Structure 1
Amino acid sequence: MAYFTLSFLLLLIKFASSQQISNPITTEDCNNRWIYIRGLPSSFNLDLLAKCSEYPLFDDFCPYLANHGLGQKTHSKSRSWYRSDPLLLELIFHRRILEYPCLTNDPNVANAVFLPYYAAIDSLKYLYGPDVNSSFQHGTDLFEFLQSDEPEIWKKHMGHDHFLVMSRPAWDFCQPLDNDPPLWGTSFLELPEFYNVTVLLPEGRAWPWQEHAVPYPTSFHPPNLACFDAWVRRVKRSRRTSLMLFAGGGGIGATPNIRRSIRTECNNANSSNNGNNTSFNKTNRIYSKICNIVDCSNGICEHDPVRYMKPMLQATFCLQPPGDTPTRRSTFDAITAGCIPVFFEELSAKMQYRWHLPEDKYPEFSLFIPKEEVVFKGLKILDVLMAIPRSEVRKMRDSVVELIPRVMYRRHGSSLGLRTKKDAFDTAIDGTLQTIKDKLNNMLEVEH
């Protein structure tokens, strides 16, 4: 049954790919916006999906291939909510770009060239499979193909006009080529052959050279404007009965870190507030709970948005401490729920998602509390949050709600009405086209 389902999915994607240029051009001006989708052998994308259960040290991601990478619906009557896996961002992006209104069959008129290579999925054989000791080879097959098949497409701008999507953090692809023995990750972003390519991924390095961060996919993928508007109304009218919330794992060891500090403060604050007429109760009667913790240890929340979205709808502030890496999918879940994100590292968002979350707007929709102040200097998160006037909190929440369209990936085949709102995909395309335009203009200036 699973094999039949996967085979049927592959046929659907192949059919959609064959129809990519038949999309009617809308009234949107396509000048300087033409994209050419590079034809790659299926071994670089669709064939990789058939290996979804071949990595015993990694989760079987076959169930999340449904609905062209959005995953299975959370329940049978759901229209907007899916059990999405961030690893499938490459597939989601590929499916969406087939609907892009400014596609061209002619690479000579294209302003950008998209490489539909499922790089993160292909990296699994190096990260979790028997090929880990040859991880420096990740990407070499792709480059050899680009050099041998219609090489003039690459040579026109030496890759400066090419872009691709990688659905894992950049740290997984920047192992130095000369590491012996190899450490974690592959060396894709260290290959000189790909230095000129623009790479979109959910987390970049502190020195953005090749890569640009785009939002992690959440579980919210509305198909039309009515579903989107219904969700926004729910977000706006939701009663915020918790002051702050942390949804995540970790922080249970003895080593000082921000997650441990959050858990300790939450437990202490809730315990001291039980049955006592504290100053918190006197000034914050709208909250029935100071801090709510949704334990997502061992990945139990990853494909079950019900576990954390309802608590987020009931919280005013959602804490976003870094974990293994600085960024979190939870940041975008929180925004989708209208919950004001609280960051503890600037690399968690401010230095990442410049296209989707403008740097100068952060004070309007988020809070920043340096983790060192909390972990080593005894600063209480509760004190910081309680000091913010309610009128300011309302303004911040309104700003968060306005960001929802920019951080969601609407469903493929969505209604024309919903397409009038630029989502995470549209914003990423705009940023990519501008980035490539700037790179090519700089090249011309240098030549002259």
Structure 2
Amino acid sequence: MFGQDHFFVAGRIAWDFRRQTNNESEWGSKLMNLPEFMNITMLSIESSSWSNEFAIPYPTYFHPLRNINVVHWQKRTRTRKRRYLFCFAGAPRPTMKGSIRGEIISQCLSAPNRTCKFLDCKAEGNKCDTPVEVIKVFRDCNFCLQPPGDSYTRRSTFDSIISGCIPVFFHPYSAYAQYIWYFPKNYTKYSVYIPQNDIKNGNVSINRVLSRFSEHRISEMRKEVVKLIPKVIYANPKSRFERFEDAIDIALKKVAERVNKVGEVLKEGKDPSVDFAAGNQWKLKLAGIVGDQALETLL
């Protein structure tokens, strides 16, 4: 099948494998630009716009052994009493042009008491690398802010989901163009989208936007988030899930479907390389979207 029945998993974002120059002193490698790798599917924690790349969830710290562990965890996160409207765990990116983290932190700190919780990942005694501390914060909040960091995506997105905290995205490439095997196409069911340009320009109050959601609506969105938990976790390697498919199960099933499709094309006497590794125009458009109207149109 010319290598098209092969795939590999990368523990880094896809951009690290698509260096555009031959200068090896620059960041990353040219792996995915090699002709041979045009026939291979890559699974990574963040994909680029190429059609032979697919994003899979970042690993979190929750690796349940049995179905009942997941069921109990879902129940706890669904019924948890939450003290804060929203929260943010992270640090500013003052040297990154266009980063909105500074504005987000400022809005969080200036919000009325008990409205926003900020977990400072640059503070002395940083708690952000301690799983229990991060989950404690997220389980106390209705909404978790997920702005881009060093790249479009964050592991924090999946920490918030397993905590039953509704993710708030500021760029469609942070989730909607990434985890298409895992998240519902209708993003309003499980998340909130606030265009990052509105934050940059000071046109939007995050507190005001999120305060408009009724308790009933928040409850409905949390139910959808809790439904996602089994899909985005990596179960204990010794586990035998009977009721759920975890992130690996879903990825392997989707890769198998992709390989079967190549086989069908070959049987028809057609060239399976057509569109196997090509620029995805839908993703390219989403990469530059900053407004809700265009996002709604594309999604």
- Which category of TM-score, normalised to the shorter sequence, fits these structures? 0.7 to 0.9
Aligned to 2:175: 349
Match of 1:261 in 2: 103
Q: Is the 8 A contact 1:253 1:260 kept in 2?
A: no
2:203 corresponding residue in structure 1: 378
Post-superposition offset of 1:365:
0.5
Residues 1:379 and 1:164: Cα distance change in structure 2 (over 3 Å): same
AA aligned opposite 2:83: T
Q: CA deviation at 1:180?
A: 3.2
Counting matched residue pairs gives: 270
1:365 aligns with 190
Counterpart residue type for residue 310 of structure 1: K
SS at match of 1:195: helix
Q: Amino acid of the residue matched to residue 244 of structure 2?
A: K
Q: 1:216 and 1:230 mapped to 2: Cα distance?
A: 22
Q: Is the 8 A contact 2:144 2:168 kept in 1?
A: yes
Gaps of 5+ in 1: 1-156, 275-288
| 4+ long deviations beyond 6 Å | none
Residues 1:419 and 2:273 are matched in the alignment = no
> Take 1:237 and 1:181, find their aligned partners in 2: how far apart are those partners?
52
Q: In 2, Cα distance between the equivalents of 1:163 and 1:257? A: 34
More helix by share: 1
Partner of 2:132: 306
Whether the 8 Å CA contact 1:222–1:410 is kept in 2: the answer is yes
Alignment of 1:435 onto 2:278: no
RMSD in angstroms over aligned alpha carbons? 2.1
For residue 169 of structure 1, the aligned residue among 10, 13, 32 is: 13
User: Separation in 2 of the partners of 1:388 and 1:267?
Assistant: 21
Q: Which residue pairs with 2:45 in the alignment?
A: 202
C-alpha distance in 2 between matches for 1:363 and 1:442:
36
The CA distance in 2 between the partners of 1:254 and 1:412, in whole Å, is 38
- Do the aligned residues in 1 keep the contact of 2:64 with 2:70 (CA within 8 Å)? yes
The equivalences for 1:183-194 within 5 A come to: 183-194=26-37
Structure 2 unmatched runs, 5+:
272-299
**Which residue is equivalent to 1:233?**
75
Q: CA deviation at 1:227?
A: 2.0
Contact 2:121 2:127 in 1 (8 A): yes
Q: For the residues of structure 2 that align with 1:440 and 1:376, how far apart are their CA atoms?
A: 50
Q: Does the 8 Å CA contact 1:162/1:197 hold for their aligned counterparts?
A: yes
Provide the C-alpha distance between the structure 2 equivalents of 1:257 and 1:437, rounded to a whole number of angstroms.
Answer: 42
Q: Secondary structure at the match of 2:7?
A: strand
Q: Secondary structure at the match of 1:297?
A: coil
Aligned in 2, Cα 1:181/1:411: closer, same or farther, shift over 3 Å?
Answer: closer
Contact 1:245 1:315 in 2 (8 A): yes
Task: Tell me by how many angstroms 1:251 deviates.
Answer: 4.3
Deviations 1:108-153 (A, max 9, x none): xxxxxxxxxxxxxxxxxxxxxxxxxxxxxxxxxxxxxxxxxxxxxx
Q: Is the 8 A contact 1:364 1:399 kept in 2?
A: yes
> What residue is the counterpart of 1:338 in the other structure?
164
Q: Which residue of 2 aligns with 1:142?
A: none
Q: 1:251–1:263: 8 Å Cα contact kept in structure 2?
A: no
- 8 Å CA contact 1:212–1:353 kept in 2: the answer is yes
The separation in 2 between residues aligned to 1:302 and 1:440, in whole angstroms, is 46
Which stretch of structure 1 is more off in the superposition, 258-267 or 298-307?
298-307
Identity of aligned residues (%): 37
Q: Which amino acid aligns with 1:210?
A: N
In the aligned structure 2, how far is the partner of 1:183 from the partner of 1:255?
Answer: 20
User: How far 1:254 sits from its partner (Å)?
Assistant: 9.9
Distance 1:395 1:245 in 2: 19
- The 1-side partners of 2:255 and 2:129 are apart by 29
> Of 408, 411, 422, which residue of structure 1 is paired with 2:233?
408
Q: Which protein shows a greater Rg?
A: 1
Alignment of 1:388 with 2:213, yes or no, is yes
8 Å CA contact retained: 2:67, 2:243: no
Counterpart amino acid of 2:163?
Answer: A
Matched, 1:291 2:116: yes
- Structure ranking higher on relative contact order (CA contacts 8 Å, 6+ apart): 2
Offset, 1:268: 1.4
- Separation (CA, whole Å) in 1 of partners of 2:64 and 2:214: 34
Amino acid aligned to 1:189 = M
- Relative to 1, partners in 2 of residues 1:223 and 1:181: Cα closer, same or farther, differing over 3 Å? closer
Normalising to structure 1: TM-score of the pair?
0.57
Tell me if the contact between 1:160 and 1:440 (Cα under 8 Å) persists in the aligned partners: no
